[in-house]
């Protein structure tokens, strides 16, 4: 008899994805929620509603795994700080378990995304993996010698807040940094740079879109690039080069076999990744640069949800 399914929840800076996941990683029911702003009570209520909806489709679920965009004290299950959600100093695991009446397992969202890709996705079989999840910000997860690396308490592996440009723009949310990889190469960066490029080139499809909507999202810029607009493609190439600068440092520091790039803002595919690969080939040290593979996530935007489910299936023992 196969074990009961679990619910995996990936809570990002602007959206949430939950699903009922079985041991073979088949997903029965998906629940999506979008959020913008809101206080802690609203965020938690949205999470509870999403889990409750998924649970209604599979009342026999045994537990819930959460991936949240926060620095998590792994042993205590406490969200210590979060750039994008109001979860700082919050006993997330115990509070959510009390609200849901189910065992809850919680970790950083990107830690769980890399778990999914290393165990069953684009980096399957590799022992040393780094993953970057491009969305509102940039999350990151690291696997070293087959185990997820979390730092001394769980707050490590924040590659998105590595400085790429010391004099660059202020980072997002509550981050005190400037020129972080997150502000230079996230989905937010694609939207910002695309809006600026459209204003400079009003005759392009990108420019016409800016004239209509004033400010574009990363998704809108990426869609125009995939449709062939040269201005939008130039934006993805520029952001891809910033991403490559970050990956080059990652390759030099960790010497991973695979770097996986996921998250919704990775939808540009090779329009984003090829420029990143070129920078890595130019700037990373041999022999690491010649051996590393830089690949898109096999699970796409569902990597965090699948990883959260794997975490729950393993009862938090990864």
Number of domains in the chain: 2
Using one digit for the tens of pLDDT, what is the confidence trace for 195-217?
Answer: 999 999 999 999 999 999 999 99
Is the domain of 156 the same as that of 200?
yes
With cut-offs at 50, 70 and 90, classify the pLDDT of residue 2: low
Residue 24 lies in a domain: yes
| Helix ranges (DSSP H) in the chain | 40-57, 92-100, 109-120, 181-185, 187-200, 205-213, 218-226, 230-254, 270-283, 288-291, 303-313
Which of 80-84, 143-147, 278-282 has the least mean pLDDT? 80-84
Mean pLDDT of 75-95: 92
Rounded to the nearest integer, the mean pLDDT of the chain is: 93
Is the domain of 140 the same as that of 259?
yes
Using one digit for the tens of pLDDT, what is the confidence trace for 32-74?
Answer: 998 876 789 999 999 999 999 999 988 889 999 999 988 899 8
Is the domain of 82 the same as that of 171?
no
Neighbours of 26 (CB within 10 A): 10
Instruction: Round to whole Å and give the CA distance between 255 and 301.
Output: 25
pLDDT, residue 217, reads 95
Q: What are phi and psi of 312, to 5 degrees?
A: -70, -40
Is the domain of 260 the same as that of 176?
yes
Instruction: Round to whole Å and give the CA distance between 129 and 264.
Output: 20
Decide if pLDDT at 1 tops 60: no
Using one digit for the tens of pLDDT, what is the confidence trace for 220-252?
Answer: 999 999 999 999 999 999 999 999 999 999 999
Is the domain of 170 the same as that of 270?
yes
Which residues 6+ apart lie within 8 Å of 265 measured at CB? 134, 135, 186, 187, 190, 218, 219, 222
């Amino acid at each position: 008899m196969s074990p009961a399914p679990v619910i995996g929840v990936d809570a990002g800076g602007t959206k949430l994805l939950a699903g009922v996941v079985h041991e073979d990683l088949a997903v029965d029911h998906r629940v999506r929620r979008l959020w913008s702003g809101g206080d802690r009570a609203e965020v938690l209520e949205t999470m509870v509603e999403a889990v409750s909806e998924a649970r209604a489709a599979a009342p026999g679920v045994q537990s819930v795994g959460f991936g949240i965009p926060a620095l998590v004290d792994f042993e205590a299950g406490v969200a210590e700080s979060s750039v994008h959600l109001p979860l700082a100093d919050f006993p997330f695991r115990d509070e959510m378990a009390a609200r849901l009446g189910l065992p809850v397992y919680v970790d950083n969202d990107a830690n769980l995304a890399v778990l999914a890709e290393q165990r069953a996705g684009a980096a399957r079989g590799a022992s040393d993996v780094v993953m970057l999840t491009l969305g509102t910000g940039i999350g990151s997860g690291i696997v070293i010698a087959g185990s997820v690396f979390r730092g001394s308490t769980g707050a490590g592996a924040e590659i998105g807040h590595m400085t790429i440009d010391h004099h660059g723009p202020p980072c997002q949310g509550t981050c005190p940094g400037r020129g972080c990889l997150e502000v230079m190469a996230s989905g937010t960066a694609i939207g910002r740079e695309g809006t600026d490029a459209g204003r400079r080139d009003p005759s392009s499809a990108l420019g016409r879109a800016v004239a209509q909507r004033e400010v574009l999202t990363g998704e809108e810029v990426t869609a125009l690039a995939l449709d062939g607009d040269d201005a939008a493609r130039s934006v993805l190439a520029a952001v891809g080069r910033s991403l490559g600068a970050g990956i080059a440092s990652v390759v030099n520091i960790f010497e991973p076999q695979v770097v996986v790039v996921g998250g919704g803002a990775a939808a540009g595919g090779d329009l984003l990744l090829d420029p990143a690969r070129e920078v890595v080939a130019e700037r990373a040290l041999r022999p690491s640069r010649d051996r590393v593979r830089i690949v898109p996530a096999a699970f796409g935007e569902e990597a965090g949800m699948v990883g959260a489910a794997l975490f729950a299936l393993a009862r938090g023992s990864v």
